[in-house]
Amino acid sequence: MKSKASAPGKVILFGEHFVVYGVKAILCAINKRVTVTAEKMEGGKISIQSNIGNLELEPGKSISEINSPLKPFYYLADKMLKNENVGIKIIVESDIPLGVGLGSSSACCVAGAAAISRLFRKTSNEEILALAIEAEKTIFENTSGADCTVCTYGGIMEYDKKNGFHKIESKPNFHLVIANSNIEHSTESVVGEVRQFKEKDEMRFSLLCKKESKLVEEVLELLIENNVKKLGTKVRENQEYLETIGISNDKLREMIQIGQTESFGAKITGAGGGGCIYALTNESNLEHTINQFKDKNYDCFSVKIDFKGLDTF
Ligand code: MEV
């Protein structure tokens, strides 16, 4: 029997990094997906195949011994294989660019948790999310859980560590243009740098958290009004806070400038230090914004919100 699941990538619209410290973030799932197929196999091994490489190991290894970006899959398979006398073959297919802040690893954890666990029993979305967050922690211990949550439930949502998620029901009329710096980043190390910034000046960081919280509440109102122009000013404001905590660089600043010439506002999305930015547009400036990036040879595409979330077959 094969078990297959797919999960969407994500864009953090507002609140990345601050969400790690309890501030509310606003995220949406996007129409780019990871699909994971899992199958029991003879021989008792865990075998993982993906377009970033393969991994084949006996079960029962300590996670800290494994040096592979595929270790969340190993973790999940090993956990499910306890007391079972079989192996698992896992195939990963992804159309989410890797390591650039669009949720490729959380989508892998969610689709992996669903496909692997459902080989053994029917699992609910809540269980799958909990498993996915455990798996994500094997590569990034301090995750806020926001990314796996939106990859599981899809749509657009507010999220905070204490209260979990709340879906935003209004259907926004904006389009997101994503531009990729093609600089891969490690979320863990950028989050570590922000922690150092915080520890150097707790007062300043706490003030920034307050400002971000206020901004997020204002954004929630603007989403109800569907006021894309005013949302754009909030995008710019959020980018200033991200600049302050030190997750930007010259290339990202240049991309934000390009994005902002035609769009309502542009900011880093995800951990920063590389990765992607998004520009907020609607029908009136979508094409122009894309062209601005293409003229300067940037890797750029528009994304739609995915309302489906995790899908199992
Ligand atoms: C990474 O996509 C988002 C961060 O806020 C980390 C997290 O929420 O776990 C930087």
Which atom belonging to ligand 1 lies closest to the Cα atom of 143? 9
Is there a domain that residue 142 lies in? yes
* pLDDT value of position 85: 85
**19 pLDDT exceeds 90?**
yes
How many separate domains does the chain show?
A: 2
Phi-psi region of 145 (alpha: psi -120 to 50; beta: other; left: phi over 0): left
Beta strand 25-41 with 299-303 is unpaired
- 86 and 155 housed in the same domain: yes
The residue from 168, 194, 212 where one domain ends is 168
* pLDDT value of position 1: 86
Is there a domain that residue 313 lies in? no
Is there a domain that residue 309 lies in? no
Q: How confident is the model at residue 170 (pLDDT cuts 50, 70, 90)?
A: confident
- Dihedral angle sign, alpha carbons of residues 112, 118, 120, 126: positive
Is there a domain that residue 43 lies in? yes
Is there a domain that residue 248 lies in? yes
- 194 and 111 housed in the same domain: no
- 160 and 183 housed in the same domain: no
Is there a domain that residue 21 lies in? yes
User: Which residue range forms the structural domain that includes residue 68?
Assistant: 2-168
- 159 and 38 housed in the same domain: yes
Is there a domain that residue 244 lies in? yes
Which is higher by pLDDT, 173 or 288? 288
- 259 and 286 housed in the same domain: yes
**183 pLDDT exceeds 80?**
yes
- 96 and 187 housed in the same domain: no
The answer to whether the CB of 16 is under 6 A from ligand 1 is yes
What does the pLDDT look like over 49-73, one tens digit per residue? 999 899 999 999 999 999 999 999 9
Query: Are 204 and 193 spatial neighbours (Cβ–Cβ below 8 Å)?
Result: no
* pLDDT value of position 253: 97
Distance 191 CA to ligand 1 centre (A): 7
Q: How confident is the model at residue 286 (pLDDT cuts 50, 70, 90)?
A: very high
The answer to whether the CB of 262 is under 6 A from ligand 1 is no
The residue from 168, 192, 220 where one domain ends is 168
- 189 and 158 housed in the same domain: no
Place of tokens 């204002």: 218
What does the pLDDT look like over 80-131, one tens digit per residue? 998 788 999 999 999 999 888 999 999 999 999 999 999 999 999 999 999 9
- 41 and 162 housed in the same domain: yes
Distance 118 CA to ligand 1 centre (A): 27
- 189 and 279 housed in the same domain: yes
- 152 and 285 housed in the same domain: no
The answer to whether the CB of 107 is under 6 A from ligand 1 is no
Distance 20 CA to ligand 1 centre (A): 7
Provide the CATH number for the domain around residue 98: 3.30.230.10
- 156 and 187 housed in the same domain: no
The answer to whether the CB of 191 is under 6 A from ligand 1 is yes
Is there a domain that residue 311 lies in? no
**184 pLDDT exceeds 80?**
yes
- 17 and 156 housed in the same domain: yes
What does the pLDDT look like over 219-242, one tens digit per residue? 999 999 999 999 999 999 999 999
* pLDDT value of position 173: 84
* pLDDT value of position 114: 98
**207 pLDDT exceeds 80?**
yes
Q: How confident is the model at residue 268 (pLDDT cuts 50, 70, 90)?
A: very high
Beta strand 276-281 with 265-269 is antiparallel
The residue from 168, 194, 210 where one domain ends is 168
Provide the CATH number for the domain around residue 225: 3.30.70.890
Percent of the chain clearing pLDDT 70 (strictly above) = 100
Beta strand 46-50 with 87-94 is parallel
Active site residues: 147
C-alpha distances out from residue 10 to 46, 120, 157, 192, Å: 28, 28, 11, 21
Q: Which two tokens stand for residue 248?
A: 């930007």
Q: What is the mean pLDDT of the chain?
A: 96
